[in-house]
Amino acid sequence: MLTIDLLNKKLSGAQEIIRAVADIEAIIQQQDAWSYQTVIELLAQDSIDLLVVYQSDKAVGYCLYQALFEQAEILRIGTHPDYQRQGIASKLISKLNQQLKELNAESLILEVRADNAPAIALYEQQGFETIHQRKGYYKIAHQPAIDALIMQLNYKKAD
């Protein structure tokens, strides 16, 4: 059974969970993975939190995000390859949306590589729209530069 929980940064086992998230990051972001230390340093900031998806007691997905005032940003989102294509990222985004609405956020943004069609399709399915394109943003040795898309989801405010 899948569960999604906000990481309690003060929890005695938090470092173990963060290590599992960093391990997933290293697998799925091979050319640009954020290390365990980077995630620890980010989570030291009050505005940055981590949602973790568990299968039984094993971390299988995560969403690192920042919420500042009325705007939030997904910094990283990922699912272990053994658990991809099972709707985990959709559930993560839904859970994040629920939390952000409770915080009265007005919008959520993210950045995605323009060549990552599955991720773009997922974000569009969740209601995100492309608001900007950064030409040649991702540069990888001996390969053509790839654009970055900035996508945004606006939350409807009740009148």
Looking at per-residue confidence, does 12 or 133 come out higher?
133
The length of the chain is 159
Percent of the chain at pLDDT exceeding 90: 81
Which of 62, 65, 123, 138 is the catalytic position? 123
Close Cβ partners of 74 (under 8 Å, ≥ 6 residues apart): 63, 64, 65, 96, 108, 109, 110
DSSP state of 87: S
Candidates 72, 50, 54, 73; CA nearest to 63 is 50
**Would you state the torsion angle of the CA atoms of residues 28, 83, 111, 97, taken in this order, to the nearest 10 degrees?**
-150
Q: Is residue 72 scored above 60 in pLDDT?
A: yes
141 against 116, higher pLDDT: 116
Tell me, yes or no, if 111 is annotated catalytic. yes
Kindly tell me if the per-residue pLDDT of 32 is higher than 90. no
Which secondary-structure segment (H or E) carries 111? strand 107-113
Domain boundaries, the chain: 2-154
Fold of the domain spanning 2-154: Aminopeptidase (3.40.630)
Say whether pLDDT at 57 is over 90.
no
Of the residues 36, 83, 106, 111, only one is catalytic, namely 111
Task: Return d(Cα 93, Cα 53) in angstroms, integer.
Answer: 11
